């Protein structure tokens, strides 16, 4: 069984600050990790994903995430946030090889960017 | 990027009625999904669908739920009859294939059961 944990329910930063949103997972097999963003009243938009290779993956709008097998983590980072980055960020895990791609989402982290 | 359209954006119905939520997935995608999100809570997997069949479903996918995609038209989620606890936002998603393919989500249908 795959599980994903996002330990921070709400993160507040100022525009131009760096930010790290944390994600930890548990699963023993081959794994696929991704991050999605949800602006208020909208659906989820894909940011980035990792399944093999370079543990640092680049996504849209300057986001990147780093996979760590030893820490069972896939934290999302951005060097300099913009007010438009304010949204809820969901980490998701999936065991690939299963039928379809059944993503298991974390509870989400609300990022608030102050001007 | 690829767009998934959901119709309607909001639906209000009385408990016990039937409701059909419609999803127009990305045109060349082959796998389809429904997720349920209760306000302020996490997104939860309901079901995935491929080649005319349910591949996997969660315990949230009650017997009153059904999915289909007749003749390549809308991918639908039908709830019959509805219950109060079915009130939530339902998100449709599609992917080109299974495995590690990216899921693309619609904007959701907010279902309110009175």
Domain boundaries, given as residue ranges, for chain B = 5-105+109-113
Average pLDDT over residues B27-44: 90
pLDDT given for residue B108 in this prediction: 94
pLDDT given for residue B70 in this prediction: 85
Q: Which chain A residue's Cα is nearest to B56?
A: A99
Q: Touching check for A97 and chain B: CB below 8 Å?
A: yes
Closest to B67 in 3D by CA, of B85, B83, B37, B45: B45
Per CB-CB distance under 8 Å, the chain B contacts of A106 are 42
What the block records as the tokens of A19 is: 């930010």
Q: Is the pLDDT of residue B16 over 80?
A: yes
Q: Coil, strand or helix: which one is B59? A: coil
First to last CA, chain B: 36
Give the rounded percent of residues in chain B with a pLDDT score beyond 70. Answer: 100
Q: Touching check for B45 and chain A: CB below 8 Å?
A: yes
Q: Touching check for B104 and chain A: CB below 8 Å?
A: yes
Convert chain A into a string of H (helix), E (strand) and C (coil).
CCEEECCCCEEEEECCCCEEECCEEECCCCCEEEEEEECCCCCEEEEEEECCCCCEEECHHHCEEEEECCCCEEEEEECCCCHHHCEEEEEEEECECECCCCCEECCCEEEEEEC
Give B66-79 pLDDT, tens digit per residue: 999 987 789 999 99
pLDDT given for residue B100 in this prediction: 73
Q: Is the pLDDT of residue A98 over 60?
A: no
Domains detected in chain A: 3-114 (2.60.40.10)
Give A13-23 pLDDT, tens digit per residue: 999 999 999 99
**Burial call A52-75: b when 16+ CB within 10 Å, e when fewer:** eeeeebebeeebbbbbeeeeebbb
Higher pLDDT: B71 or B108? It is: B108
Give A40-97 pLDDT, tens digit per residue: 888 889 999 998 899 999 998 999 999 999 999 999 999 999 999 999 999 999 866 5
Per CB-CB distance under 8 Å, the chain A contacts of B41 are 107
Q: Is the pLDDT of residue B104 over 80?
A: yes
What residues are paired with A35 via a beta bridge?
A48, A91
Higher pLDDT: B40 or B62? It is: B62
CATH of B5-105+109-113, one of 1.10.600.10, 2.60.40.10, 3.20.20.70, 3.40.50.720: 2.60.40.10
């Amino acid at each position: 069984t795959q599980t994903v944990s996002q330990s921070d329910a709400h993160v507040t930063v100022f525009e131009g600050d760096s930010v790290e949103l944390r994600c930890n997972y548990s699963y023993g097999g081959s794994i696929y990790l991704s991050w999605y963003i949800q602006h208020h009243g909208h659906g989820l938009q894909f940011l980035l994903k990792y399944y093999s290779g370079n543990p640092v993956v680049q996504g849209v709008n300057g986001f990147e995430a780093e996979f760590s097998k030893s820490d069972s983590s896939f934290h999302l980072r951005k060097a300099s946030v913009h007010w438009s980055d304010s949204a809820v960020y969901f980490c998701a895990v999936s065991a690939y090889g299963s039928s379809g791609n059944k993503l298991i989402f974390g509870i989400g982290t609300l990022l608030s960017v102050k001007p | 990027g690829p767009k998934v359209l959901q119709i309607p954006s909001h639906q209000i119905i009385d408990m016990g009625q039937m409701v059909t939520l419609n999803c127009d997935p990305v045109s060349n995608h082959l796998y389809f999904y429904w997720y349920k999100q209760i306000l302020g809570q996490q997104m939860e997997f309901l079901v995935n669908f491929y080649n005319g069949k349910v591949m996997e479903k969660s315990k949230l996918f009650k017997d009153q739920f059904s999915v289909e995609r007749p003749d390549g038209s809308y991918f639908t989620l039908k709830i019959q009859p509805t219950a109060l606890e079915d009130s939530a936002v339902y998100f449709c998603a599609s992917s080109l294939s299974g495995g590690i393919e990216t899921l693309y989500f619609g904007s959701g249908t907010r279902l309110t059961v009175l």
